[in-house]
Structure 1
């Protein structure tokens, strides 16, 4: 604690003092969940059942740091994607960049959104692993709950879960008929609709259909064409078919489709970052050639941006009870992902470097699980296999005017190719009751992964630009195999009734990979040793819930993103150290009032990391990298997307009326400064900020619900992510911003 800034220390201390007085994160249960207590009738905090350990159990009995948000809470917030719930989970940072979801848990996540890149936070929907982070933004409708597992999940989840796992669980078909619909209208011409229908076809067959349409006008303008940008137009549909021919066999088939076509995901200009080798600031080339700064929400591009994405998939889940305590489960899935983004590396008024991003992925996965559930043992044994093919590219014609030549485009930059992945694993984990209060958890997973790449990279200054001209540069072919054993050992003990303490040690592993289109050697795997202590308690006869966790991580070969030439690439940082504290409190002092507080303090720093910065070729003046190039020693720098503290405070109060109830909810979120790169540049960051949201909901006993909302009440411009673009353009800072103030009304009806 000696190194804590005073402000962070005070805030963190305030969070823990709250244990004895009030505070916060309500983990609401979906009203349809059979395991959920009725908080309105009991006046206590509702419980929620999770499957974080691949078996159903109360979130308060799960000996790991997991946050669960039920469907009712998601509906209250009007959540339509992961960015809507980031503040509700300590240690979670979610942003969007070029159509990709940048998920970070406790300082670890995805720091590179180039084609073929993968996150260090696993994303799963209904048990299916989604390899492509872009698809993580397309799944929020008809959701039963969201589970966020913080910390390495190397045993049960394995692949790419060194930072944790985000699990989306959608509503299953029901044999009783249920249906509902909602319509949201708001500023920026927002019209969002959702609907679901579930019913039994026979005594053994049930179906469920759900869909969503989202539309809103642009949050900004292209000032050169007067066209809206950062708008949204998307459609999604999901269908599920449930067979229960007898009490032992269950078969669930599902399929989903998502399409988006709009002018979102374009780069915005944030300022200058370049310096000469002697330290003289560099003005971006676009401004020197007569361009203009359009402001953080607008762009100035000759070509309007475009975003097109399609994701679809299917799954088959077969569960069979071998005995009353032993069951077998098979999960087969196929995922297809395609996106194309047209953007501009110089969105400041001069047509110098338009750029396109494209990626197509086809993924097949298969998992088998054997579950033993007795009074003494909670055992899961399984095997996993995945095959994925990715074709991706980044391409942009280059204007010779940038280099002082005529205003003429050459073929310019191309980077792309094919990446193939085969991954397999076997795993087992058992929680054994030593006594009725003390349990021991032992687990292990062996992961094997092979990656093969055939890629191309070129910067063609000689040939005139011809749209669609084929790339003729040589293909670079390489492959590499990775493997690792990731164990887990944990103890949990019931100190008192509804008070559990736990401690664990685990390892995490993320396979090495190739930077698609760079023709460079494979990266080393990312590995972590993680230690965690935690406390989960329900006190005051169910009126106070207090969950605490502390952790320490030792990372080696952390995969960190940077700009190299015109390409976003990953490279291995030597080592990183992360430790922190998290708290989740919910207080229900009286029947109709719920107060929540969740807070995190994070110390995520590089222990050893030396790297060059093309925007500052002189380095720090006394450091050279392994190639003898002037570089920076980044030891002690904060990890990207890792604020030192976050605090989320909420309060909700309900008034009972003759025909229903009226509920007022307010939320306030504080975040410390967020750096977007390992270099910790002030212009490449979002300074400390706070944001408030408010909701007013009128519920009628008939099933009608009216919700008025205002988000980002202060209409603050908050940077979501950023990067330094090509040195050929004078190293401008480009990035993305979060939505402005939005408000509207949602009308919903369930029966």
Structure 2
């Protein structure tokens, strides 16, 4: 077996930032030898962790960048079955999701704007599966399927990866076909009717062809009970399939054809009532006053939410809920060793079919009766890379091409309670407040996005001495985006509203009221841009086991377009110059120290970073129902800085432990015209600052048109985050089986953070700590263990959302309560 395969084998039994909290399913044995070290030396100096973060195989401690490596069996043992859950192991990773489409994956607080997702911007954190870029983070909500290893790379990665990423990358590697017959199966059952089954089998079809197929299915009852539908919602209902075919005619050439398909079909995703906060609307136009008015207009109704304690996990959502989600694709990967260098080609097609239905008013009232924006997405990518290693010079050059099309068909309708909720009582002779003028008002939209990207990138490593390496990289990128958006509005009588211009609404109180909710609009934003970026890394091997490095990166996030419609001017006309959003300009600085000691039984890595972004792409939200919910705008300047520390220790094969910590200070340095938080919204907007004074927070009166939130923390970011874990084992013979009895613990802590794009006193999420335990017996080819997650049944919130309308309603998603179960694994 050659050196490369020995290194890959060692990767399966090691981890850096997240060490071996769950050993491989074999009996106790010495760690496999590294290709560059003798077996005896390897056993005394610890394990070798191999990564492909820099598009070549190397030990993680030799990579001069901040990286967390989580191997597949550690993911399974800790119950972190997708990227959303992975943040419990990687403190600087933040993942928030209200549904698969509205999923934010950020690193160090950076990546995507916090809030409703728009197709018109790029992801700052790239997600790669076997070198294939996944353009939408909805892929992150699926179960990990036959995963060998996950690498979380922190900081800009544009000079080594196909798609430019400004905040980092998540590099997922699956298990590959083998020419030795092997297989594995796993069954799990737990409370909440949790059932999961996984299986994979691999082996030769001939001397030159091998195949691998894997399947996983997961189901679990939801943790929220909907009293309207009399059933639990937000369940898990996942199915995943992957097949791979490897053609290896000789040791120098391998061609892998891969296909995968994943499906989710839950009734979700809903929220629960969390709290009500005061806004600047008149008191009778805030949540409690509006509910009282609707009850008064409907004698005997007496509406009230089923519980005001979010941890009762009760809701009463009365609109259809659906999150139909299908993702899949195919890829062809060629690796060709040319002797002097290595050539790689990755050709891929991926699709995403999204069929949602939501309750946009977050209540059991019929305000928004229907809200759905199904979309169909297709992407094509081609990447070529050539790398060469020499005594003094290593280099990699790459070409990347990407093409994407997204089609969306949206519908949103007002319900029977909309008029009383959205219109103010009036003595107007037209008396629209009592005429049910909003019931049945419907907005339908069709839209598409075309996105094209091409790039030339490369990186060079100059080994000045045996200890000193200088590593520059560069990227030239071209991006073009074009979109189309058309909204048609029909009133409850079925008549098309052709215009909401002042000339059309003047003197027409009914049309004025309807246009205050939905306005017809057509826009076709388009733009293109070239960008040149670069990075420069210097790393120095202080000793054999201590590496110091410093990096500067000049990066960018490409231009964005407002794909979901444009904000309107005073005459209800689209503001055309808001159609495009400037690229982000990123300056990134990082220094780090990687060290191992005690015969490599202990590892300690330390990183300090600072990232400054100009023209930060932020989501601006409108508080009213029906009008443009969110659009992109440039937010001046943002800064993220902090320190990260990773420590692990494995004094013997009987015990291992880790502790990771991150301090992240992420702020808006300059955002003078941000949307105001709910406590500073909802009143009559100031038009004459000389005579009109803004009301105090949460007090009815005048509201500012926008707010200066410079200096405020970025949403979704905890200043302090920790993760920890440990496992001990003892050799035993049980039922004539030799193996290990083991006990493991892992957990994480996050300090408080804010869940609104403009931080609000009502959306502050308290810090929390979660702890998980597992205990079991494993031996050659089997592992049986029980587990409990959130063992102390901590009440915590995963996300808070401000309901539209500036009525003060805050809805949210409580995290899972204590869950428990057991798992059986077999391998051969």
Quote how far apart the aligned CAs of 1:43 are: 7.0
Give a deviation string over 1:180-216, Cα, whole Å, max 9, x none. Answer: 1001000000110000000011111100000000011
Distance of 2:283 and 2:583 partners within structure 1: 35
> Following superposition of structure 1 onto structure 2, how do residues 291-302 of structure 1 map, counting pairs within 5 Å?
291-294=304-307, 295-296=309-310, 297-302=313-318
Which of the residues 689, 692, 699 maps onto 2:771?
Answer: 692
Distance of 1:449 and 1:284 partners within structure 2: 48
- State whether residues 655 and 663 of structure 1, in contact with CA within 8 Å, keep that contact through their aligned partners in structure 2: yes
Give a deviation string over 1:663-690, Cα, whole Å, max 9, x none. Answer: 2111231111121123221321311111
Which of the residues 665, 673, 676 maps onto 1:613?
Answer: 676
Quote how far apart the aligned CAs of 1:138 are: 1.9
Quote how far apart the aligned CAs of 1:136 are: 2.1
Distance of 1:547 and 1:85 partners within structure 2: 20
Distance of 1:63 and 1:102 partners within structure 2: 27
Quote how far apart the aligned CAs of 1:137 are: 1.9
1:175 aligns with 2:179: yes
Residues 678, 614 of structure 1: CA spacing in aligned structure 2 closer, same or farther, 3 A cutoff? closer
What is aligned with 1:391? 407
1:667 aligns with 2:746: yes
Distance of 2:33 and 2:393 partners within structure 1: 22
Give a deviation string over 1:281-309, Cα, whole Å, max 9, x none. Answer: 93267644323154433321223422211
Distance of 1:133 and 1:24 partners within structure 2: 23
Which of the residues 131, 136, 143 maps onto 2:135?
Answer: 131
Distance of 1:726 and 1:379 partners within structure 2: 52
Quote how far apart the aligned CAs of 1:695 are: 1.1
> Following superposition of structure 1 onto structure 2, how do residues 66-77 of structure 1 map, counting pairs within 5 Å?
66-77=67-78
Tell me the TM-score normalized by structure 1: 0.90
Quote how far apart the aligned CAs of 1:718 are: 2.4
The number of residue pairs the alignment matches comes to 718
What is aligned with 2:108? 106
Q: Secondary structure at the match of 1:264?
A: coil
- State whether residues 232 and 264 of structure 1, in contact with CA within 8 Å, keep that contact through their aligned partners in structure 2: no
- State whether residues 521 and 565 of structure 2, in contact with CA within 8 Å, keep that contact through their aligned partners in structure 1: no
Quote how far apart the aligned CAs of 1:310 are: 0.7
1:738 aligns with 2:815: yes
Distance of 1:261 and 1:668 partners within structure 2: 30
Q: Secondary structure at the match of 2:418?
A: helix
Give a deviation string over 1:399-434, Cα, whole Å, max 9, x none. Answer: 253332466732334455101100000001011110
Quote how far apart the aligned CAs of 1:275 are: 1.3
Residues 179, 137 of structure 1: CA spacing in aligned structure 2 closer, same or farther, 3 A cutoff? same
Q: Secondary structure at the match of 1:475?
A: strand
What is aligned with 1:647? 722
Give a deviation string over 1:13-38, Cα, whole Å, max 9, x none. Answer: xxxxxxxxxx9742679859978799
Distance of 1:541 and 1:68 partners within structure 2: 21
1:362 aligns with 2:354: no
Distance of 1:57 and 1:285 partners within structure 2: 63
1:714 aligns with 2:792: yes
Which of the residues 447, 466, 479 maps onto 1:449?
Answer: 479
Residues 527, 622 of structure 1: CA spacing in aligned structure 2 closer, same or farther, 3 A cutoff? farther
Give a deviation string over 1:63-112, Cα, whole Å, max 9, x none. Answer: 00011111221222233211232122131112222223321100112224
- State whether residues 115 and 393 of structure 1, in contact with CA within 8 Å, keep that contact through their aligned partners in structure 2: no
Distance of 2:758 and 2:400 partners within structure 1: 38
What is aligned with 2:366? 351
Comparing 174-183 and 650-659, the one that deviates more = 650-659
Distance of 2:601 and 2:414 partners within structure 1: 63
Distance of 1:30 and 1:372 partners within structure 2: 35
What is aligned with 1:576? 638
- Which structure: greater strand fraction? 1
Q: Secondary structure at the match of 2:170?
A: strand
Quote how far apart the aligned CAs of 1:444 are: 0.2
Residues 364, 274 of structure 1: CA spacing in aligned structure 2 closer, same or farther, 3 A cutoff? farther
Distance of 2:366 and 2:283 partners within structure 1: 28
1:597 aligns with 2:590: no
Tell me the TM-score normalized by structure 2: 0.82
Structure 1 unmatched ranges of 5 or more:
1-22
Residues 368, 182 of structure 1: CA spacing in aligned structure 2 closer, same or farther, 3 A cutoff? same
What is aligned with 2:617? 559
Comparing 126-135 and 286-295, the one that deviates more = 286-295
Q: Secondary structure at the match of 1:218?
A: coil
Give a deviation string over 1:371-407, Cα, whole Å, max 9, x none. Answer: 1112322211011000000112443211253332466
Quote how far apart the aligned CAs of 1:696 are: 1.1
What is aligned with 1:256? 260
Comparing 481-490 and 528-537, the one that deviates more = 481-490
What is aligned with 1:427? 457
Quote how far apart the aligned CAs of 1:316 are: 0.2
Comparing 136-145 and 239-248, the one that deviates more = 136-145
Distance of 1:235 and 1:591 partners within structure 2: 36
Distance of 1:156 and 1:27 partners within structure 2: 28
Which of the residues 220, 223, 237 maps onto 2:224?
Answer: 220
What is aligned with 1:380? 396
What is aligned with 1:14? none
Distance of 1:688 and 1:614 partners within structure 2: 21
Quote how far apart the aligned CAs of 1:510 are: 1.2
What is aligned with 2:583? 525
The alignment's C-alpha RMSD in Å is: 2.8
Q: Secondary structure at the match of 2:95?
A: strand
> Following superposition of structure 1 onto structure 2, how do residues 128-527 of structure 1 map, counting pairs within 5 Å?
128-157=132-161, 159=163, 161-273=165-277, 275-276=279-280, 282-283=286-287, 287-288=291-292, 289=294, 290-294=303-307, 295-296=309-310, 297-323=313-339, 325-353=340-368, 354-399=370-415, 401-404=417-420, 405=434, 409-457=439-487, 460-461=490-491, 463-464=493-494, 473=520, 475-519=522-566, 520-527=578-585
